[in-house]
Structure 1
Amino acid sequence: MLKPLLAAAALSLPLAACMSSPPDRLAGDQPPPTVESVDLDRYLGLWFEVARAEHGFEDGCQGVTAFYEMNDDGTIRVINRCWKDSLDGELDVAEGRARLADPGDTAKLEVSFFGPFYGDYWILDLAEDYSWAVVSEPAGRYLWILSRDPQPGEAFIEERLSFLQGLGYDTEGLVYPDQWESLAAMPTTGLPDGAVQ
């Protein structure tokens, strides 16, 4: 899963190297722990952004999705989509790529939307069935809660927030973008053919 958007974009995904940094949300100096390993083939596909830390490159973004598919060279194609200000707003699509920072650690990726600049994409928590994920980076400045379901429910959100608080994250002021009522209700504009099964 590798995250959101705009011409300055990310989802999923992190562009810390290219943007002014938001505040650190993680207490202490230790980076957060990640999951032990990730089956990248299972991680591919469509993700909905349920919550995010506030940052400039997703300002006003609603209906945010991230789509990942494997490239022939072993990198991952990343397509982030955002509707500006409302689900009826203008669509922004940003395309980038992700790669493993260390081939031996499948929970730590790097994502780029701008040439040689990469931002960390660390998977902190992941459902056994790959139905949701929590993504951040070493300093805790960027944070996303992702789900395969655009409406995973309040109990799901509370459980993920509790997990993050247990790691020392400040979860106050997270952004909860509007999302589609269902997968069927989501426009497929900007996604490759066959992206939505």
Structure 2
Amino acid sequence: MRRLFLLLPLLMLLAACASTGGSTMPPLTSTATVDLERYMGRWWVIANVPYFAERGKVATADIYALREDGRIANTYAYRKAFDKPEKTMAGVATVVPDTNNAQWRIAFFGGLVKADLLVMEVAPDYSWALIGHPGRKLAWIFAREQAMDEALYQQLRAKFAAWGYDPETLQRVPQFPAQVGQPGFQ
């Protein structure tokens, strides 16, 4: 019963990721070219469009590592509060062929939960990355450092508007205790 309780929200995410929700906009696509070796490592989640699996988490990060089979190990690290231990959730990503490494299919829980994600843009020095979803339901701003300059954050947030997102849906993820409860943060 407990497994069913845990899987139900993940199945809801799958349904959200698979559906375009009747949007009149065409599916989001990416023209980015991603150097997978440079992309690997820890990315701090600076902001996202909150959804049940990430909402309310703090000090979150996605950690990527190339596997021998060519796929990518995807570890989501998070805390439920700053005084709680870090937890992780493991997934596996497959890069969609002929997408310049910009479109990934990620599976969690042995493939029960899957989602397509797009690396929309990466800084030339790989200091930040913008991640989207074909149906524009999900989005993330990643950075190699936990702290991001406010002006840069606003510039990156505005890029999502050009891709058809409502930038007001993006909310910052607290990476430091002083950010909890501040305007613009989850």
Fold-level similarity (TM above 0.5): yes
Identity of aligned residues (%): 26
The separation in 2 between residues aligned to 1:45 and 1:78, in whole angstroms, is: 10
* Structure 1 residue 167 corresponds to structure 2 residue 167: no
The separation in 1 between residues aligned to 2:61 and 2:35, in whole angstroms, is: 20
Q: State the SS of the aligned residue for 1:95.
A: strand
The separation in 2 between residues aligned to 1:104 and 1:66, in whole angstroms, is: 21
Q: CA deviation at 1:133?
A: 0.5
* Structure 1 residue 112 corresponds to structure 2 residue 107: yes
Are 2:62 and 2:76, in contact at CA under 8 Å, matched by a contact in 1?
Answer: yes
- The aligned amino acid for 2:152 is F
Instruction: Give the one of 93, 101, 115 matched to 1:98.
Output: 93
Unaligned runs of 5+ in 1: 1-6, 9-14, 182-197
Q: CA deviation at 1:35?
A: 3.2
Structure whose CA Rg is larger: 2
Moved more, 30-39 or 69-78: 30-39
Are 1:87 and 1:178, in contact at CA under 8 Å, matched by a contact in 2?
Answer: no
Unaligned runs of 5+ in 2: 1-5, 178-186
Are 1:49 and 1:65, in contact at CA under 8 Å, matched by a contact in 2?
Answer: yes
The separation in 2 between residues aligned to 1:24 and 1:171, in whole angstroms, is: 18
Q: CA deviation at 1:104?
A: 5.0
4+ aligned runs moved over 3 Å, structure 1: 15-20, 22-25
Partner of 1:51: 47
- The aligned amino acid for 1:122 is L
Supply the RMSD in Å over aligned alpha carbons. 2.6
The separation in 1 between residues aligned to 2:99 and 2:28, in whole angstroms, is: 18
Q: Deviations over 1:110-140 (max 9, x none)?
A: 1111222421110111101111101011101
Q: Which residues of 2 match residues 177-188 of structure 1 at below 5 A?
A: 177-180=173-176
Structure showing the higher helix proportion among its residues: 2
The separation in 1 between residues aligned to 2:87 and 2:163, in whole angstroms, is: 33
